[in-house]
Chain A
Amino acid sequence: MPWIIGFLLFTAGPMFFSLYASFTRYSITTPPEWIGTRNFAQIFRDPFFYTALYNTFWMVIVKIPIVTVTAISIALLLALDLPGGRFFRTIIYMPNVLSGVAAVFLWQWILRPNGLFNTGLALFGIQGPGWFVDPLWTKPGLVVMGMWWIGGDILIYLAGMKGISRDLYEAATIDGAGGWAKTWFITLPMLSPTIFFQIVTGIIGTFQIFTTAYILSGTESATGGPRQSLLFYVLYLYNRAFGRSGPAGFQMGYASAMAWILFAIILVVTLAQLWLSRRWVYYETEEAR
């Protein structure tokens, strides 16, 4: 099947080229010039690299646990099959079909210092922060905003819960287990492969935040929002590769090297999770042994 060869070429070919480019100085207009590991040496001395790394890890470490716990909790409620379940599922999933610029503008508007969100908080006597204009609150703002897109995770957890064998619950009931016990000792362990998969893909996705940060930074996109607080890894990489202002742009070699460092980080984090998963992820097939 030539289709498959083409498909692999589109991915594998570029990958090798990217690896080669990371050892060159390359600005597209001139042919790549081999400079050995100088890109990497320069990256490790680049203060913006560490800012971008810090911001990106911040999002991964804060956002993923919040999203995971919230999504599972809401999925557990939806799994009760209360009246109107289909309606709830539809509404909660609806934002997930919106991913573009318009959705970012909407949240920029909602999270303005005197915007709808802070007006809502004021009803509870809470003085809301400046969100996207205050460097300290830009990332928490992204987390709040991200909650609106939690529907996809919820539906996947819900599908996982529906896949759990009823026999287990029946047996637990006979043993006198209550609802909480069943959730803790049956639902969560049986769901753990799905949770694991969602966490792994969620982390890979969060490492690559770009569009939201790019749009939120607006005219400051070259620097990553108020005081570099939104300078995420891929945004910085984009600025190095495609930034059209200043001497920073069109450094394809530098950006390729950055891409490979990110790839290595993601690989290490994923492998670490695979290793850790042996302690908490339960696969049904193990039971058969």
Chain B
Amino acid sequence: MARTDTMTQVARPGTGIKTSGPQRFIDIAGHVLAWLFLVGLAILWLVPFVWMASTALKAPQDLANPSWIPTRFAWENFSFAFSVGMWGQWTTNTVIITLVSVVGTVLSSTLVAYAFARLRWPGRELVFNLVLATMMLPGVVTLIPRFVLFAQLPAFGFQGSRNWVNTFLPLTVPAFTGSSFFIFLLRQFMRTIPMELSEAAKIDGASEFRIWWNIIVPLSKPAVAAVAIFTFQGAWQDFVGPLIYLQSERLYTLQIGLRQFEHAAGGAPAWNWLMAASLVVILPVLVIFVLFQNYFIEGIQLGGSLKG
């Protein structure tokens, strides 16, 4: 670690051990080796992305050829790929489900976290521990009863269905009940905001609701952003939910559509088309990642450092 190394140099004179020439050489050589290793690793990690783009632009006769640059850039792969299937409809569906999930999760998780972090009420710690305990519960245990529940809730013809199955409702409404991990993450963050702020606002006559929305949520921006981004990523790429709940093709999300597209090709998939379609499906997530990478990385480290 860098800080231990700088420490080494500071501490060594004190112990009377001089940093001798050969030892110093070994240290530097070690760091150079480590650095080269990391460079190699980074290249290795990027290879699949490049390969995906390369395949997506190859003409069929190029596919067996392991070259990186196609002999001809087959841009028509994209239009071919998107001529099979209801991609426009699937994109709209995915955008709607994702947006509603993000709004629902952010609203409910910040509100519940606010109650845990900033309000005093009897049984608070007990209920919070219960919420934490659900984080450990394997999702598969509630999979079936949830399906049964949604199969019995009336949808009154919404999206042409009598019950919630084969509508967007099972994929969006639960977002409004919050998610235990995000509640945990937000609570930890909100606890670090000084209580004096809330007290001052209360003296000025603000309601708890206003304090939550106008003070605490804006001040928790890094954590809220992380929650929004992780929810976006999760909803955009959710596979199991849409697989179980969406049966009509017009309601599919991009993930289910993409899988259907593979089978539409009839057994052996045309890899250049498949990669072209896959590339477009993952592009929004990659763009969001590149734009907001700090929130991603801080979010995961915030989550990780709280776990210790």
Contact = CB atoms under 8 A, between A and B. Distances in A.
22 contacts: A1-B112, A3-B112, A6-B177, A8-B134, A11-B134, A21-B145, A21-B148, A84-B38, A84-B39, A102-B279, A102-B282, A114-B64, A152-B300, A156-B303, A156-B307, A169-B1, A198-B307, A210-B240, A211-B240, A219-B267, A256-B145, A270-B136
B91 interface: no
A238 to B, nearest CB: 8
Question: Which among A4, A182, A259 has the greatest number of chain B C-beta atoms within 10 A?
Answer: A4
Nearest to B68: A116
A166 interface: yes
Contact of B144 (A119, A174, A252): A252
Contacts of B88: none
Contact of B108 (A3, A158, A176): A3
A36 interface: no
A262 B140 contact: yes
Nearest to A99: B237
B145 A173 contact: no
The 5 closest A-B pairs by CB, nearest first: A156-B304, A81-B2, A14-B145, A100-B237, A102-B278
Contacts of A62: none
Contacts of B45: 91-92, 94-95, 148, 151
Q: Would you call the interface of chain A mostly helix, strand, loop, or mixed?
A: helix
B1 A194 contact: no
Q: Would you call the interface of chain B mostly helix, strand, loop, or mixed?
A: helix
Contact of A98 (B115, B134, B282): B282
Contact of A155 (B11, B134, B301): B301
Contacts of A158: 301
Contacts of B102: none
Contacts of B255: 100-101
B202 interface: no
Nearest to A151: B45
A106 B237 contact: no
A259 B148 CA distance: 15
Interface size class of A (residues with CB under 8 A): 35 or more
Contact of B137 (A11, A101, A156, A207): A11
Contacts of B148: 17, 21, 28, 252
A222 interface: no
B305 interface: yes
Interface in A209-236: 210-211, 214-215, 218-219, 234
A179 B3 CA distance: 12
Contacts of A6: 177
A173 B131 contact: no
Nearest to A7: B177
Interface string A72-102: 0010011111111001111111111111111
Contacts of A266: 138
Interface in B62-101: 64, 66
B218 interface: no
Contact of A159 (B55, B288, B304): B304
Interface of B: 1-5, 7-8, 11-12, 14-15, 17, 30-31, 34-35, 37-39, 41-42, 45-49, 51-52, 55, 64, 66, 108, 111-112, 115, 121, 127, 130-131, 134, 136-149, 151, 174, 177-178, 180, 233-234, 236-240, 243-244, 255-256, 258-259, 262-263, 267, 269, 271, 274-275, 277-279, 281-282, 285-286, 288-289, 293, 296-297, 300-301, 303-305, 307-308
Nearest to A266: B138
Contacts of A88: 38, 41-42
A105 interface: yes
Contacts of A28: 148, 151
B38 A77 contact: yes
B1 A82 contact: no
B30 to A, nearest CB: 8
Contact of B275 (A17, A101, A105, A237): A105
Contacts of A160: 304-305, 308
A155 B300 CA distance: 7
A285 B169 CA distance: 46
Given A3-B111, A18-B142, A263-B138, A98 B237 contact: yes
Nearest to B285: A97
A96 B300 CA distance: 11
A194 B122 CA distance: 31
B1 A81 contact: yes
A234 B240 CA distance: 11
Given A77-B37, A98-B285, A215-B259, A159 B144 contact: no
A82 B36 CA distance: 10
A244 B46 CA distance: 39
A208 interface: yes
Given A102-B281, A119-B66, A90 B297 contact: yes
Interface string A147-174: 0100110011111110100100110011
Contacts of A242: 147, 244
B285 to A, nearest CB: 5
A221 B176 CA distance: 33
Contacts of A260: 141
Nearest to A152: B300
